[in-house]
Structure 1
Amino acid sequence: MPAPERIPPLLLKGELTVRGRIREASNAVLYCSLSYEGAEAACVYKPVAGERPLWDFPDGNLAQREVAAYEISEATGWGLIPPTVLRDGPYGEGMVQLWIEAQEPPTEPLLALIDPPEEEEPAEGWKAVALAEVGEGRTALLVHADSASLRRLAVLDAVINNGDRKGGHLLPAPDGRLYGIDHGVTFNTEDKLRTLLWGWAGEPLTAEAVEVLTRLETALAAGMPLAARMGELITAAELAALQARVRELLRTGLHPEPSGEWPSIPWPPV
């Protein structure tokens, strides 16, 4: 289990009451309230029973992968994923994650389309991703912000092998923090990285990222508590692949580039 001091008791022990369903999701995603010893909060509950089987994720369940992603996020010290636990609920065991109310509109946009696309590099503060069709035979250049928080998230996605980093999975909070959500399709043994955050592809990792990855490599070594925790949530082969990805990032010292074996951008992108 995660260290208790990192998880609000409200999330672990609170009474879970379903208030509605988020219908845009492909699996069962329930909006719930939590109540415990006078404290209340909102959360997302994804019961395992509501998951649709995926041919390329035959082992374990998506809820466990969401919790595993949170554990890795916490190990980096970046806190990029809201507090997340695996616990019982009205429809059985599932992932329960603290609800983060996104800032609308965000103080600083994270994604943008340059239409028509310019031949030169995007303006300072932006990183180019790819050309995108915007209808009527027109294309636009998809760009994302060149921000430290997004860059950390790009590193985390490379570590957990995130196959679905869409724009809608980026949550800028009113306090200025950035969170990522929806990490069910992660930790595959094959390279499945699909993301909108390719702007740093092939560029050197920051000194901060190298330091974080070095600590993470040690924490994931056999016999360490984090490695043991991952062994409870993902398979032995997936844990070995996770360790290998961290080593490879440290060996190259570079942000990964698209492999060319899979679509590099999720669909739909937002």
Structure 2
Amino acid sequence: MIPDPTLSGELPDGFPTGELELHGRVLPASNATFVGELGGVRVVYKPIAGEKPLWDFPDGTLAAREVSAYAVSQALGWDVVPPTVLGDGPHGPGMVQLWRDEVDDKSPVDIVEEGRVPSGFRHVFDGLDAHDQPVSLVHEDSEPMRRMALFDAVVNNADRKGGHVLPMADGHRHGVDHGLTFNVEHKLRTVLWGFVGEPISEAETEGLRRLSSALAGDLGARLAAALTQEEVEVTVKRLSRLLSRGTFPAPASSRYPVIPWPPF
């Protein structure tokens, strides 16, 4: 497999090359998702041919959006998204992302008994579980989660489920599954609403400004090759709005839900 440099840009440091060998398929995934090995390194592969058609996203673009999300993550300097490239595999061109082993005993997003928010967590909303018992959805109150929430706001992530947040052993959190991003319509659907209205910190503002500079240069041109020109322009506007307001966004009043379903 030779990654396509047109969208991916410079190959991430240490990213493997060679023949992509598939080990299995992730069956619960909405789109064709495979786990495999590339140059002795475990990876996730999502071929464009296996993308499920969506009424609000052009056919064959989800893989490009995943790679674009990684490019934005890198420009921010926050390492939200694991290294991701567009390359050719056994089922044709698609997204290839380095696998990240999560810590099983740590859950950055969780369901708890209603009103019993653990120390170090933020409350998101209340509801009923499968047994009609009152519960609360909560997420960590941490720097990695704040950065992920801001990242999602910039890329307009329509599918930030709890299972798309991977806890790392060192305390870092990675976000995965970014095919539903960069739409021109407001579609932010996330479980990370615990920071609504809070000031964006100076360090977070610096990251957003780094991204703004990158979008005015090479990154903007790279995204334009993967997305529509309008999608790139609206991304710049979302970022500018975040910087001017200086606070974490609140759910917008619209006909779209603001929590993905299911949330996990």
Give your verdict on TM over 0.5.
yes
Structure 2 unmatched ranges of 5 or more: none
**1:258 and 1:251, CA in 2 relative to 1: closer, same or farther beyond 3 A?**
same
Distance change >3 Å, CA 29–CA 240, structure 1 → 2: same
- Residues 247, 59 of structure 1: CA spacing in aligned structure 2 closer, same or farther, 3 A cutoff? farther
Report if aligned partners of 2:49, 2:60 keep a CA contact under 8 Å in 1. Answer: no
Matches within 5 A, 1:104-123: 104-106=104-106, 109-117=107-115, 122=117
SS in 2 for 1:32: strand
Residues 207 and 47 (structure 1 numbering): CA distance in 2 closer, same or farther, change over 3 Å?
Answer: same
The alpha-carbon deviation at position 82 of structure 1 amounts to: 0.7
Q: Which amino acid aligns with 1:18?
A: L
Alignment of 1:35-54 (within 5 A): 35=39, 40-54=40-54
> How many angstroms does 1:123 deviate by?
5.1
Partners of 2:102 and 2:112 lie apart in 1 by 24
* Matching of residue 58 in structure 1 with residue 62 in structure 2: no
Q: Distance in 2 between matches of 1:21 and 1:8?
A: 25
Indicate if the aligned counterparts of 1:60 and 1:235 stay in contact, CA closer than 8 A.
no
* Deviation for aligned residue 1:4: 3.3
Q: What residue identity is the alignment partner of 1:254?
A: T
Q: Give the alignment of 1:28-177 within 5 angstroms.
A: 28-35=32-39, 40-58=40-58, 61-106=61-106, 109-117=107-115, 122=117, 124-177=119-172
Provide the residue aligned with 2:229 in structure 1. 236
Q: Within the alignment, does 1:209 sit opposite 2:215 as a pair?
A: no
Which 5+ residue runs of structure 1 have no aligned equivalent?
none
Name the counterpart of 2:185.
190
Deviation at 1:3, TM superposition (A): 4.8
SS state of the match for residue 88, structure 1?
strand
User: What letter corresponds to residue 232 of structure 2 in structure 1?
Assistant: L
Separation in 1, partners of 2:183, 2:126: 27
Cα separation, 2, equivalents of 1:235 and 1:244: 14
Q: Tell whether 2:14 aligns with 1:8.
A: yes
1:20 aligns to 2:24 (yes or no): yes
Question: Contact 2:147/2:204 (CA < 8 Å) preserved in 1?
Answer: yes
Checking the alignment, whether the CA contact within 8 Å between 1:48 and 1:94 is kept in structure 2 is yes
Quick check: 2:109–2:165 contact (8 Å CA) kept in 1?
no
Partner of 1:254: 247
2:263: which partner in 1? 269
Question: Deviation digits for residues 145-203 of structure 1, max 9, x if unmatched?
Answer: 10110110000000000000001101112333211000000000011000000000111
The DSSP-based 3-state class of the residue aligned with 2:58 is: coil
TM-score (norm 1): 0.91
Which is further off, 58-67 or 19-28? 58-67
TM-score for the superposition, normalised by structure 2: 0.93
Pick closer, same or farther for the CA change 1:142–1:123 going to 2, 3 Å: same
How many Å apart are 1:133 and its aligned residue?
1.1
Q: Secondary structure at 1:93's aligned position in 2?
A: strand
Cα deviation, 1:198-240, whole Å, max 9, x if unaligned, reads 000111111111111112112112xx11111111111101000
Following the alignment from structure 2 to structure 1, what is the Cα–Cα distance between the partners of residues 11 and 35? 25
**Are residues 48 and 3 of structure 1, via their aligned partners in 2, closer, same or farther at CA, if it must alter by over 3 Å?**
closer
Letter in 2 for 1:43: V
In percent, how many aligned pairs have the same letter? 46
Deviation at residue 46 of structure 1 after TM alignment? 0.3
